[in-house]
Amino acid sequence: MRIVAVLSIPCGLFAWFALQIGAVANGQLLQGSLPWLPTLGIALSFRLDGLGLLFALLISGIGALVLLYASSYLHDDPHLGRFYGFILAFMLAMLGTVLAGDLITLFVFWELTSLCSFVLIGFDHQQEASRKAALQALLVTGAGGLALLGGIILLGQMAGSLELSTLLASGDQLRSHPLYLPVLLLVLAGAFTKSAQFPFQFWLPNAMAAPTPVSAYLHSATMVKLGVFLLARFSPILGGTDSWFIVLTTVGGITLVLGAVRAITCTDLKQILAWTTVSALGMLTLLLGVGTPLAISAALLLVTVHALYKSALFLAAGAVDHGAGSRDINRLGGLASSMPQVALASGLAALSMAGVVPLVGFIAKELFYEATLQAPAAAGLLTLLAFAGNGLTVSAALLAGYLPFYGTLRDAELHPHPVDLRLWLPPLVPALLGLLIGLFPGPAGRLLVAPAVAQVAGSPVPLTLALWHGLSPVLLLSLATLGAGLALFSLRRPLLGRLQPSQPGAGWDTERFYDWLLAGLPRLASGVTLRLQSGRLRYYLMTVTGVAVALMAGNLLTSSTDELHLSRPDGSLHEWLTALVILSGALFATITRSRLAAVASLGVVGYGVALVYILFGAPDLAMTQFCIETLSIILFVLVLHKLPHFTLLSSTASRLRDLVVALGIGTVMTMLVWRAISQPLVPSLSTWFMEQSLPAGHGRNVVNVILVDFRALDTLGEITVLAVAALGVYAMLKPSSGTGGSD
């Protein structure tokens, strides 16, 4: 019964989104918002257009299949309920991302997907590989998320709004802005890390440490396509430039070929599928980089096709592991007799992945070739990359969809057995959908793909999907791709020695650089800590004060001095004598080697300040100063006269450093006072206090009313500090009531 309740959520969402297909296909835009941070102009905004609807249907539909599958695959797991909660939270985060109507909403849900994927990849947290893979995915995608946030903030500054509707209408203005290139690179960093593009491709195969339902959902059909979704969403805003074309086609082409090559060197089913996912994501990035209406059509059709066949293959791989006890293709074989439904699902999905007629993968592959042949630049090179990647993908499809199910069982220790309906039905459904859409591509193209293409291209794009377009170079390329894939499959074993690196993980990817950075981070942190956290309070105070003074000095030196109206210093003889006494006392306190003389000198400074208060009409402050100075001198003398004779421990260099710091602080404070007294006093505040003292504070002593009423919280804070200090002193002085026994 629990699975029925859980399935009702994605099924209900899928049904609601399906009901909106007609309205969205007719150009209707559904949107709404809720106030979130109105003072900052930020709202929780959502919009349902063609692009969002396509992804929402894939997220909710495949999510329902994965949940049904997990109810059997993880039925013995004591944390199955927790798994359901994580998957549903991830689903809602994905939907929030693809349906976001402004960039802040998009970013919040974008980061939530990273957090949810972290807990899902590390679901088997007892395994070190799961914990390591989860941390790696979080760090890589989290770093990209920070870059994306920077790009979003800059975009908001450039356009004056974070609403997608405003940004989509301001593409020309944003592309001509001086900050366009930094924004582009920041946004692409976020997209590339999420969609495992070179050089960040390593985290996706490592994430296969997650349970198979997680791999099928997050890392084939949904989350890894978020980067592709972001590129598609931002294409009308940032696309169409040479920078966009060069970066996306280069990175996408490298990822396409690299992922496909790595796939045919693997023997684990999930690793094969993971690397082909990397290759497919590179293909999608390349097409969005080309940016023509035909290329966008091919990309969004491939999004749908890849989600169908890859989710089927991942779920089938889990069923094979569950029924045969292994995912190693060198040990498997002949499983079609014991798992016919799983073999059918894998076979159909592999044929779609290879681009074999009449599967929908064939239509997508032809559209891919047509888009590269008509690319505005480097058409030959792009077509060559497409051919190489597709040929390798055909070989990988045979490894995943043919080898485990046909021939003879290669390891007699395995004992395959049939799996229940909940393990073979979820992979069979998307595999059959791939066949159905391939046989009848018109409705899917018109109702799902075309509206999404219109949102990315900025205007409606004619799209006709069909299995047969006549004899053409595209058809010849498709046939040649199948031939090349079959040849690579037959020559796989001789080629493995050349394709595989001499050492595991060497020469293929950038994961070693990631490991080096991760290992170096604690060393860097230790070095910084040893440098900054010396354990000496004087250094901390010197650093904080020095930085604050340097910032203030910089501001004072760079600000305008036009408003300074400083008159020549004047004063009476007794005022100058008082100042001289204060300065002399401060100087003598710094150079004397007698502690008692230093205390007496500081007392001279304090009494001198009290005299200043008297001279300038503040007798209450003077009395307070007299009391504090007298008490301080008595306490210092009582303590310091018991200490050993004065010893000079500091070096000449440290004393010179302290002198520079002290002079700097004094100079900056002098500059601040100088600037303050150069400004005319505003009498309104003192007049207000005098007028409001009696009616508002019920007191004739203005100073008392200010302290008790107008500055009540400040005074309360001071009283609280004194009370806490008194309690601390009382606790230390109170005699112990214990018997004196040791603790």
Same domain, 576 and 512: no
Same domain, 350 and 276: yes
Side chain identity at residue 46, one-letter code: F
- Burial class of residue 664 in the structure, from the number of CB atoms within 10 Å of its CB (0-12 exposed, 13-18 middle, 19+ buried): middle
Q: Which ranges of 413-563 would DSSP assign to H, the alpha helix?
A: 421-439, 441-444, 450-457, 473-490, 492-499, 511-532, 537-558
Q: Is 79 a member of any domain?
A: no
Q: For residue 141, is pLDDT > 90?
A: yes
- Using the structure block, give the residue that is written with the tokens 């997209």: 191
In a domain? residue 700:
yes
What does the angle CA 168 – CA 171 – CA 177 come to, to the nearest 5 degrees? 135
pLDDT at 159 over 70: yes
Rounded Cα distance, 622 and 694, in Å: 25
Same domain for 700 and 677, yes or no, is: no
How many domains, the chain? 3
Domain that holds residue 699: 686-734
Strands 42-48 and 30-37, by their bridges, are antiparallel
**pLDDT band (50, 70, 90) for residue 743:** very low
Residue 456 has what pLDDT?
Answer: 93
Mean pLDDT within 363-388: 93
Domain assignment of residue 100, yes or no = no
Pair 157, 302 in one domain: yes
How far is C-alpha 360 from the geometric centre of its chain's CA atoms? 35
- Beta carbons within 10 angstroms of residue 369's beta carbon: 24
CB atoms under 10 Å from CB of 596, counted, come to 14
Domain assignment of residue 151, yes or no: yes
Q: How far is CA 56 from the centre of its chain?
A: 22
User: For residue 504, what pLDDT is reported?
Assistant: 43
Is 361 contained in some domain? yes
Q: Which residues of 669-680 are buried (b: 16+ CB within 10 A; e: fewer)?
A: eeeeeeeeeeee
pLDDT for 597: 86
Angle at 78 between CA 76 and CA 84, to 5 degrees: 95
More confident residue, 710 or 433: 433
Asked if residue 452 has pLDDT above 90, the reply is: yes
| End-to-end C-alpha distance for the chain, whole angstroms | 58
Mean pLDDT of the chain, nearest integer? 87
Evaluate whether 351 touches 401 at the Cβ level (below 8 Å). yes
Q: Which of 110-114, 309-313, 663-667, 674-678 has the lowest mean pLDDT?
A: 674-678
- Looking at the fold, whether 482 and 599 belong to one and the same domain comes out as no
Helix axes 226-238 and 80-98, enclosed angle (nearest 10):
10
* Residue 51 covered by a domain: no
DSSP-assigned letters across all residues of 266-320: --BHHHHHHHHHHHHHHHHHHHHHH--HHHHHHHHHHHHHHHHHHHHHHHHHHHH
Residue 354 and residue 284 in one domain: yes
Contact 272, 399 (CB under 8 A): yes
Helix (H, G, I), strand (E, B) or coil at 333: coil
Determine the Cα–Cα distance for residues 117 and 134; give it in Å rounded to an integer: 8
> pLDDT-based confidence at 500, cuts 50/70/90?
low
* CATH number for the domain that contains residue 640: 1.20.120
Q: Which pTM does this prediction carry?
A: 0.78
> Does residue 82 form part of some domain?
no
Q: Within the chain, what is the greatest distance between any pair of CA atoms? A: 112
226 shares a domain with 147: yes
Residue 9 domain-assigned (yes or no): no
Q: What would the mean pLDDT of 565-593 be, rounded to a whole number?
A: 81
Is 339:424 a contact under the CB 8 Å cutoff?
yes
Same domain, 493 and 639: no
DSSP state of 328: B
For 205-264, write each residue's pLDDT tens digit: 998 888 999 988 987 667 889 999 999 999 999 998 999 999 999 999 999 999 999 999
Taking the C-alpha atoms of residue 453 and residue 460, their distance in angstroms, rounded to an integer, is: 7
Residues 596, 496 within the same domain: no
The amino acid present at 236, given as its one-letter code, is P
Whether residues 617 and 578 fall in one domain: yes
Query: Same structural domain for residues 618 and 471?
Result: no
Same domain, 700 and 641: no
CB 260 within 8 A of CB 396: yes
